[in-house]
């Protein structure tokens, strides 16, 4: 019976020592967090292993993250897939429809969001200023120099070529008028006025020629002969051509002296504002101007944009990750962690395993105690 109690006692002591030493060893991985000193002498095993090797741990964690966790292949396999491309395309199209193409915001609202307020009024002012400048420039050009200098030469040549036609037209109209009743009345009035203005001499002439009607007919016939004579056409053509030449030499300012420039400017600007109607145009939504925008963008814009973005990301992925320097970021972050955070991080993952190590140490200590007790017992027997 004494042997059994001794054996159990030694097993208990062995288990206690084994469990305690393993528990202490685990604690010494983290504790103490800082080095302890007696005067200038640093106590051994302080700080704990992990606080002491935190720099190396940070480097290893950085390498682990960049070499095995966050790698270019991981992004390619998880994110840069055809399925993710389709999802990104659908998401972008949905947001584009909701926020832009089918939005209730007018063009004025979008412009205000962009910081452009009162755009219609400002644009009208700019257009008025532009029209004024262009019209003043045109006015200056039109009123500087002679007609020959200002009017295009092609126009002048065309007008000059039209003189024979105009001459024939004038003579034809004159012939029709002279041969008409109105022409006869006109000649009669002219003759009567002429005879009355000559007094007695006029009366003598009237008696000499007889009835004024016969005189009118004679004058009318002579006038028709004059109009139909070839020389008349040449004379009229020469007169018109000479007057046209004189007209070419006249200053444009003289020709346009009484022209209402201000009225023209005002009318043109009013017409431009009316046709532009900027305020009413800017009060409409994008959908009003582009009702098929959603269909067009879903077929022509969104797929190409997303495909281009995915291709560019895939091409630049390795370069971007190198520039991002994840290894350095992880190391820097781990270096800034308090040791208590590192302890909680590791224990959070391996707490159960550490407990099992403590239990295993106690179990091995108990077995060793039993073996020692047996050795002592059989040694005493011999």
Question: Regarding predicted confidence, which is higher, 351 or 368?
Answer: 368
**How does 157-184 read in b/e, with b if 16+ C-beta sit within 10 Å?**
eeeeeebeeebeeebeebeeebeeeebb
Class of residue 216 by CB neighbours under 10 A (exposed 0-12, middle 13-18, buried 19+): buried
Q: Which two tokens stand for residue 281?
A: 């145009």
Q: Which two tokens stand for residue 274?
A: 């009316």
Question: CA dist 66 to 61, 161, 325, 337, Å?
Answer: 9, 89, 9, 19
Q: Which two tokens stand for residue 212?
A: 């004024």
DSSP-based three-state secondary structure for 260? coil
As a whole number of angstroms, the distance between CA 326 and CA 66 comes to 6
As a whole number of angstroms, the distance between CA 98 and CA 91 comes to 11
Q: How many of the other CB atoms lie within 10 Å of CB of 122?
A: 12
- Rounded percentage of the chain residues whose pLDDT exceeds 70: 78
Tens of pLDDT, residues 135-156: 888 888 878 888 888 888 888 8
Tens of pLDDT, residues 57-92: 777 777 777 777 777 777 778 788 889 989 999 999
Class of residue 48 by CB neighbours under 10 A (exposed 0-12, middle 13-18, buried 19+): buried
Mean pLDDT of 363-367: 78
As a whole number of angstroms, the distance between CA 178 and CA 172 comes to 10
DSSP one-letter string for 130-143: HHHHHHHHHHHHHT
Tens of pLDDT, residues 17-56: 777 777 777 676 666 656 666 767 766 666 666 666 667 7
As a whole number of angstroms, the distance between CA 365 and CA 372 comes to 10
Q: Does pTM top 0.75 for this prediction?
A: no
Mean pLDDT of 230-253: 85
The pLDDT-based confidence of 304 (bands split at 50, 70, 90) is very high
As a whole number of angstroms, the distance between CA 290 and CA 296 comes to 10
Q: Where are the domains of the chain?
A: 2-78+315-381, 147-255
* Average pLDDT value over all residues in the chain: 78
Tens of pLDDT, residues 262-298: 888 888 888 888 888 888 888 899 898 898 988 999 9
∠ CA 70-71-77, rounded to 5°: 105
The pLDDT-based confidence of 160 (bands split at 50, 70, 90) is confident
Residue 10 is predicted with a pLDDT of 76
Residue 296 is predicted with a pLDDT of 93
DSSP one-letter string for 148-173: HHHS-HHHHHHHHHTHHHHHHHHHHH
Q: Which two tokens stand for residue 65?
A: 């993250």
Residue 370 is predicted with a pLDDT of 75
Tens of pLDDT, residues 192-210: 766 566 555 445 555 545 5
Tens of pLDDT, residues 325-348: 777 777 777 767 666 666 666 666
**pLDDT surpasses 90 at 305:** yes
- Rounded percentage of the chain residues whose pLDDT exceeds 90: 7
Q: Which two tokens stand for residue 344?
A: 């909680």
């Amino acid at each position: 019976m004494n042997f059994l109690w001794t054996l159990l006692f030694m097993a208990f002591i062995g288990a206690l020592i084994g469990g305690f030493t393993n528990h202490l060893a685990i604690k010494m991985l983290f504790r103490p967090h800082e080095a302890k000193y007696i005067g200038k002498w640093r106590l051994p095993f302080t700080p704990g292993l992990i606080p002491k090797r935190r720099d190396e741990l940070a480097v290893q964690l950085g390498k682990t993250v960049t070499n095995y966790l966050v790698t270019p292949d991981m992004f390619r396999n998880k994110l840069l897939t055809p399925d993710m491309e389709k999802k990104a395309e659908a998401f972008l199209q949905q947001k584009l429809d909701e926020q832009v193409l089918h939005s209730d915001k007018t063009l004025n609202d979008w412009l205000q969001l962009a910081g452009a307020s009162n755009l219609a009024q400002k644009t009208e002012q700019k257009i008025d200023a532009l029209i004024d400048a262009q019209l003043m420039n045109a006015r200056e050009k039109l009123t500087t120099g002679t007609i020959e200098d200002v009017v295009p030469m092609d126009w002048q040549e065309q007008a000059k070529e039209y003189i024979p036609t105009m001459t024939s037209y004038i003579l034809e109209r004159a012939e029709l008028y002279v041969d008409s009743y109105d022409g006869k009345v006109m000649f009669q009035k002219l003759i009567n006025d002429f005879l009355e203005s000559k007094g007695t001499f006029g009366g003598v002439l009237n008696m000499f020629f007889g009835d004024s009607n016969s005189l009118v007919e004679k004058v009318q016939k002579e006038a028709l002969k004059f109009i139909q004579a070839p020389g008349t056409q040449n004379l009229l053509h020469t007169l018109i051509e000479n007057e046209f030449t004189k007209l070419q030499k006249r200053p444009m300012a003289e020709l346009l002296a009484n022209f209402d420039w201000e009225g023209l400017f005002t009318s043109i600007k009013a017409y431009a504002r009316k046709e532009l109607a900027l305020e009413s145009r800017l009060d409409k939504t994008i959908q009003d101007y582009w009702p098929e925008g959603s269909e067009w963008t879903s077929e022509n814009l969104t797929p190409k944009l997303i495909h281009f973005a995915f291709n560019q990301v895939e091409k630049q992925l390795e370069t971007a990750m190198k520039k991002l320097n994840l290894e350095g970021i992880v190391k820097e972050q781990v270096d800034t962690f308090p040791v208590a955070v590192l302890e909680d991080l590791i224990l959070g993952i391996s707490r159960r395993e550490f407990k099992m190590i403590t239990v295993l140490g106690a179990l091995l200590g108990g077995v060793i105690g039993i073996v020692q007790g047996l050795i002592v017992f059989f040694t005493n027997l011999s």
